[in-house]
Structures are given as C-alpha cells and as structure tokens.
C-alpha cells in the first residue's frame, strides 16, 4: 500500500502491519514469522481433504467509497454533493433506474449478467466508528461487547472441530488479520512457493529437516506448538507448491499485490487440499485526496485493479469454481459530500459485493435510506453487515450463524443460494 495519500492513522496501521492481530496467534502459524516464511517440517499423513465449499473474504482496506463503486444515480443528492467526483450516469454499467456500477467494474459485467455477482448497499456496523484500526478490529471480531479475542472466521472454521492451519489462510501477507485470530490455528503466507523450509531443495535438506524435527518435537510451550504447527503446514502444503503455477487459460491477472494474492489463492483452491477460508487484502482506499474522475485518480486505478483481479480469479478456478463464494468488505464508507481537496472523508455506510455461482446475482440488494447534502452527512446503515456474511455462512458454508455471529438478529436477503 502506498502511504502518501492515506490518513495518519491508516499510515500507522500500514507500518504496524496489524501487529496487534499477530499477538493473538502465539500458538499458531504466525509464530513461524519469527523464523521466516516457513521453517520446519514433520513427516505425517496430510490431513487435508477436498472441501465442498470455499469462502474468500476480500478486505478493501482504508474504507472504500461505496458511493463510487455502486452509484445511486437515482438519488438527486448524489450529483449535487459531488460536483467534481460524481460518476456520470451515462458512464455506469449494469445500470438500472437507481443504481449502476463504476465503469471500471466492466470486466465483471459477464458475471453480473450471468447472475453470479450482486451488490448490497447501505451496509455496515450498527454504530459509527471512524477509526481505521478500531473499526477493522470491531468489524473482524464481529462480536461487540465480548472480551474474547476471536475473529469471526476463526469461529467459522472452529465449528468443524479440527484444528488444522490448512483450513484457513491469509494469502498475500505474512500477518493474520483479526478475523482469523483465535484458538483455531490459521496461517498467513505471501506466496505459495515460499511455504517451505529454507534450503529445502539443497543437498543437505534431509539431514537439516531431521535435525530440526528432533529439536522441535521435544520443545514445549507456545513456541514448540507453533513450530510443530508450521512443520505440519509445510508438509501438507507440498501438493499446492508442486501444482502448476501458471494461471488457467483465459485468466490474466493485473500486475500488483491484489493480482498476485488472488492468483495464489486460486492456485491453492485448484489443488483442493482442504482449504475452506481464504482472506485477502487490497489497499489503499483511504482517498481524502486524489479521488479523481473517470479520467484519472486513485478511485479509477483501484477499481480497475479490483475488477481485473476478480475476473481473472474466477476464470482461474477451473473445476473448483462452483464451490467458491467471494465477499468484499471494508471497515466503513465515506461521507456523502466531497471535501475541499476533491476527496471524501471517513463515513459510515458502504457497499458489499457477493460473487460466485452460489449468488442470486444480477441485482442490487438493500434498503436505500436516502442521501443528505450536508458537511458531515453519512450514508446511513440500514443493514448490519453480519446479515450479509451470515447468509453466506449459513447457505454456502453450512455453519451456524448463531455461533459465528453471537447475539445478532439476522435479516434475510435472499441474495445467496443454498448449497
């Protein structure tokens, strides 16, 4: 992520690398970061088995502007509140009488037309939280009022009982996000090919592995547990490392972190080795300045990268495509009115995208609250974001929403098909 245009707090998060989230994983794979990308290996039968469903959660870090991604052109306040950054109605794609998609989302139009993509507007957390770090943590814990530090994705994978870090991965970064933190072991990796022992392919690899195995199999405490977890993951990841690294025919990823992360995610899913949850990040969406118009600006370039990467990802999944559901989320939205710097400041409500063959797509969901052209006006939240996630969790993953999102009264959308 570039730090030049993001606010000071988001700069701090970028520099810290969400370090606080890593502290909660002392007994999990994040301990491996003490040694490198992957350290140890043990000989064991791989526990990974094919899965029936895979959930990919793409976090748009920095608070994306949902009013630019899915434009409410039918609300007269939109254009008045954004005299220099409003997207012209004539340029929108998948336009109906009220909403339309940013034109840079055009690579996803085939999925929209096939009913494999939907947008849910005016979603978010019930209470306003304009702090990037605090909002990310609250959003990903998804259990307000609880003192337990357990992310919602950790609760999701915990329902099956197994404690295998292969089941839930952060791909494209070396730190697990808050959503994956908790008692169930999860893993973070930058690249598929780096999940290996350093020097694993040289002439001394066998002796080195045996020696380290002897040392760490006897080690106690959190460090020993983490090392053994890493050893197992490196071993179980071998079939994925050995799989074809080239994308499937027709899948062309954009150059950049998101393209590389989603290419690694698709490669992992194609190998079908038991991974059920993958978290991926894209940043920076914190556009206080430099938002731009259709001809220039960060909104255009970010949206273009997002659309091309997602289109390539689904083209790359091959025979595994039908089992994958992807959902986008961001910590909060942006203000309705553009600021004096031609950008937008921290807001509240936002949009979420749902993609995959299990989506009742080709339409916009949510209850529109109407916009107000005032200095501090937000897009109001009319739907708790956990209802969107809960529908995916229940219908695609077959999990209990009461256990994943305790205390939340779910609102049914009908945006997701039952598997």
Which of 74-78, 127-131, 168-172, 183-187 has the lowest average pLDDT? 183-187
Q: How far apart are CA 294 and CA 302, in angstroms?
A: 12
The pLDDT of residue 200: 61
Q: What's the mean per-residue pLDDT of the chain?
A: 87
Binning pLDDT at 50, 70 and 90, where does residue 202 land?
Answer: low
Residue 17 has pLDDT above 90, yes or no: no
Reading the block at residue 367, the tokens are 């209850």
The pLDDT of residue 50: 83
The conformation of residue 407, written as its DSSP 8-state character, comes to: T
Q: What is the DSSP string of 100-143?
A: EE-GGGGGGHHHHHTT-EEEEEEEE-SS----HHHHHHHHHH--
Domain-wise residue ranges, the chain: 8-404
More confident residue, 213 or 264: 264
Residue 167 has pLDDT above 50, yes or no: yes
The pLDDT of residue 36: 34
**pTM score, two decimals?**
0.89
Q: Please answer whether residues 315 and 251 qualify as being in contact, where contact means their C-beta atoms are separated by less than 8 angstroms.
A: yes
Binning pLDDT at 50, 70 and 90, where does residue 1 land?
Answer: very low
More confident residue, 397 or 202: 397
The pLDDT of residue 232: 77
The pLDDT of residue 391: 98
Which of 5-14, 32-41, 131-140, 259-268 has the lowest average pLDDT? 32-41
Residue 59 has pLDDT above 60, yes or no: yes
Which of 31-35, 54-58, 119-123, 197-201 has the lowest average pLDDT? 31-35
Residue 351 has pLDDT above 70, yes or no: yes
The pLDDT of residue 191: 92
Burial class (CB in 10 A: 0-12, 13-18, 19+), 385: buried
Using only the alpha carbons of the chain, give its radius of gyration: 21
Residue 40 has pLDDT above 80, yes or no: no
How many CA atoms are closer than 13 Å to the CA of 320, on its beta-carbon side? 26
Which of 160-174, 220-234, 272-286, 317-331 has the lowest average pLDDT? 220-234
More confident residue, 327 or 233: 327
The pLDDT of residue 23: 29
Binning pLDDT at 50, 70 and 90, where does residue 300 land?
Answer: very high
Q: How far apart are CA 246 and CA 383, in angstroms?
A: 40
Binning pLDDT at 50, 70 and 90, where does residue 227 land?
Answer: confident
Q: Please answer whether residues 188 and 36 qualify as being in contact, where contact means their C-beta atoms are separated by less than 8 angstroms.
A: no
Binning pLDDT at 50, 70 and 90, where does residue 45 land?
Answer: very low
**pLDDT per residue as tens digits for the range 260-290:** 999 999 999 999 999 999 999 999 999 999 9
Residue 131 has pLDDT above 70, yes or no: yes
**pLDDT per residue as tens digits for the range 304-345:** 999 999 999 999 999 999 999 999 999 999 999 999 999 999
Q: What is the DSSP string of 258-325?
A: HHHHHHHHHHHHHHTSS--EEEEEE-----SS---BTTBSHHHHHHHHHHHHHHHHHHH-GGGGGGEE
Q: Give the three-class secondary structure for 311.
A: helix
The pLDDT of residue 201: 65
**pLDDT per residue as tens digits for the range 373-408:** 999 999 999 999 999 999 999 999 999 999 999 999
**pLDDT per residue as tens digits for the range 84-104:** 999 999 999 999 999 999 999
The pLDDT of residue 159: 87
Residue 241 has pLDDT above 50, yes or no: yes
Q: Please answer whether residues 33 and 22 qualify as being in contact, where contact means their C-beta atoms are separated by less than 8 angstroms.
A: yes
Average pLDDT over residues 192-213: 73
Q: How far apart are CA 166 and CA 3, in angstroms?
A: 32
């Amino acid at each position: 992520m570039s730090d030049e245009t993001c606010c000071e707090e988001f700069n701090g998060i970028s520099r810290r690398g969400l370090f606080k989230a890593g502290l909660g994983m002392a007994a999990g794979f994040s301990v491996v970061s003490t040694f490198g990308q992957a350290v140890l290996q043990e000989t064991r039968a791989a526990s990974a088995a094919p899965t029936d469903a895979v959930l990919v959660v793409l976090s748009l870090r920095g608070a994306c502007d949902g009013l630019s991604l899915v434009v409410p052109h039918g609300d007269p306040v939109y254009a008045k509140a954004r005299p220099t950054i409003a997207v012209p109605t004539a340029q929108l794609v998948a336009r109906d009488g009220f909403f339309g998609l940013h034109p840079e989302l055009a690579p996803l139009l085939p999925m929209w037309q096939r009913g494999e993509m939907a947008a849910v507007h005016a979603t978010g957390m019930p209470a306003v939280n304009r702090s990037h770090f605090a909002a990310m943590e609250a959003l990903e814990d998804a259990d307000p009022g609880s003192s337990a530090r357990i992310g919602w994705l950790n609760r999701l994978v915990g329902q099956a009982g197994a404690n295998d870090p292969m089941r839930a991965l952060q791909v494209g970064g070396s730190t697990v996000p808050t959503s994956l933190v908790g008692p169930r072991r999860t893993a973070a990796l930058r690249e598929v090919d780096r999940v290996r022992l350093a020097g694993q392919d040289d002439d001394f690899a066998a002796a080195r592995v045996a020696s380290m195995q002897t040392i760490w199999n006897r080690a106690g405490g959190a460090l020993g547990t983490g090392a053994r977890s890493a050893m197992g993951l490196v071993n179980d990841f071998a079939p994925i490392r050995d799989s074809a690294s080239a994308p499937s025919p027709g899948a062309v990823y954009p150059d950049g972190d998101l393209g590389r992360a989603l290419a690694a995610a698709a490669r992992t899913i194609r190998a079908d080795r038991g991974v059920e949850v993958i978290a991926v990040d894209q940043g920076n969406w914190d556009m206080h300045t430099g938002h731009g118009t259709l001809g220039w600006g960060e909104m255009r370039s970010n949206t273009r990268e997002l659309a091309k990467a997602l289109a390539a990802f689904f083209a790359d999944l091959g025979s595994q495509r039908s089992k994958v559901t992807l959902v986008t989320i961001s910590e909060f939205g942006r203000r309705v009115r553009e600021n004096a710097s031609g950008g937008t400041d921290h807001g509240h409500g936002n949009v979420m995208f749902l993609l995959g063959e299990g989506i009742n797509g080709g339409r916009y969901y949510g209850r529109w609250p109407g916009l107000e052209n005032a200095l501090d006006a937000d897009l109001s939240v009319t739907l708790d974001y956990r209802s969107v996630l809960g529908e995916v969790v229940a219908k695609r993953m077959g999990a209990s929403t009461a256990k994943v999102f305790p205390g939340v009264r779910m609102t049914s959308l009908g945006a997701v098909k039952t598997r």
